[in-house]
Amino acid sequence: MRNDHVTLRSTAVFDLLAPRTPAVPVKVELRYDTRDPYAVVAAFRTGRAGWVEWVYARDLLADGLLADAGDGDVRIRPSVEDPESVLIELNSPSGHAMFEASAQELADFLDRTYDVVLPGNEHLWVDVDDALTHLIPNDLG
């Protein structure tokens, strides 16, 4: 485990896609924190004061830049119509959303995360004792 934690942030604009309507630009903050080195956070601006956060695997983002990736709530794939874009599909019990984002912006963000934690070295950043402390109730005894 490493103690010199780093948080990377990057802002982007994704286009919210819907049938028969023009795309709606949505501000998105991408975050990567070495305290959770396997994950990426995408925080979507939903209004004046609201944000909705989605947490998904960094590997899913990397895989989705190249081919169809994901079989759960988050799916990422290159756009067929525009090779410079990536489609990000989010599913939840409260709804479904499809976004189009710049493949280059996502790749640049991903490269910055690799500068901090190389793929395959994520385990070096995980504090197992701290994780167990949060999972196991303190009143066992």
Residues 44 and 30: their CA atoms lie apart, in Å, by 9
> Coil, helix or strand for 109?
helix
For residue range 83-95, what is the model confidence (pLDDT) as tens digits? 999 999 999 998 8
pTM of the model: 0.85
Number of neighbours of residue 108 by Cβ within 10 angstroms: 12
Give 3's pLDDT tier (boundaries 50, 70, 90): low
Helix (H) or strand (E) holding 98: strand 95-102
Number of neighbours of residue 107 by Cβ within 10 angstroms: 15
Please report, for the chain, the start and end positions of each structural domain, with discontinuous segments joined by +. Answer: 7-134
- Mean pLDDT across the chain: 90
Residues 84 and 57: their CA atoms lie apart, in Å, by 22
Q: CB-based contacts of 9: which residues, under 8 Å, 6+ apart?
A: 29, 30, 31
Residues 65 and 60: their CA atoms lie apart, in Å, by 9
Helix ranges (DSSP H) in 3-141? 58-64, 103-116, 128-135
For residue range 6-16, what is the model confidence (pLDDT) as tens digits? 999 999 999 99
At the fourth CATH level, which superfamily is domain 7-134? Sporulation-specific cell division protein SsgB (2.30.31.20)
CA dihedral 78, 97, 28, 47 (to 10 degrees): 160
Tokens 């489609």 sit on residue: 87
Q: What is the pLDDT of residue 99?
A: 97
